[in-house]
Copies of this chain bind each other. A is one copy, B any other.
Amino acid sequence: MRGMVLRAHPRATLVDLGHEVPPQDIALAAFFLRAAVDRFPAGTVFAAVVDPEVGTARRALCVLAHACYWVGPDNGVLGEVHASARDAEARTVDFAHLGLEATARTFHGRDLFAPLCGRLAAGRVGFTAVGPRADAVVRAPSLLAGAPRVVFVDGFGNLVTNVPAAALAGVRAVRIGVRTVPVGDTYAAVAPGSPVAVVNSYDLLEVAVSRGSAAALLGCGVDTPVMLEANA
């Protein structure tokens, strides 16, 4: 994919958004894309190829939102970004009209999405030329929906929950597994090796261990429930 972007736009700057999305995890990819809003330069083209239905009749989309382009299959991966901007526009990509053809039915990222992204970034194709206006955009169940729980574990072993920072007013501690963990301002608010609940950089409740791994120390992972404890 990187090579095919560069064939279309030799001066492109290529950045990996992250390497933490497990195969097929549309909800987590949609979350990370939403979290990238306002963190990249205007005009950035995001290629979001979590695409378990590659090669079928599923549509491909190009979304214009937050002054960036977001390209991927219409399976929910772009749903959070699209819904987050009141003025978002979406187009169904007409690859044939753009002269793009897939040589494989299992990797449209390489054959179709990457060349399109390169052309968009180079200004060689404009948004309205991508294809017809899309009537609707698929939205997958949000990673953040449902009961309070761990929704992903990052590379540090931090347990990221779906509890928004706003829900923490008056909360002094959270219960997770067999532990009660105090709320703190920073990872270092507790002694090294001790657990702490912080507001993280996604503005979500996160259970961490100071200079350690909460996943390892607490034996918790995705879907572990969390409970908020108000002032006692």
Contacts and interface: CB of A to CB of B under 8 A. Distances in A.
Interface stretch (A78-86, A87-95, A185-193): A185-193
Given A105-B186, A201-B106, A40 B210 contact: no
A14 B212 CA distance: 28
B213 A23 contact: yes
Nearest to A110: B201
A186 B107 contact: no
Contacts of A103: 201
Contacts of A36: 3
A72 interface: no
B188 A40 contact: no
A113 to B, nearest CB: 13
A187 B203 CA distance: 36
Tally of this chain's copies = 3
Contact of A7 (B14, B41, B187): B41
Contact of A104 (B56, B111, B157, B200): B200
B54 A186 contact: yes
A186 B56 contact: yes
Nearest to A51: B187
A219 interface: no
B211 A104 contact: no
Interface of A: 2-4, 6-7, 10-16, 23-24, 36, 39-41, 44, 52-56, 103-107, 110-111, 155-157, 185-188, 192, 198-201, 203, 206, 210-213
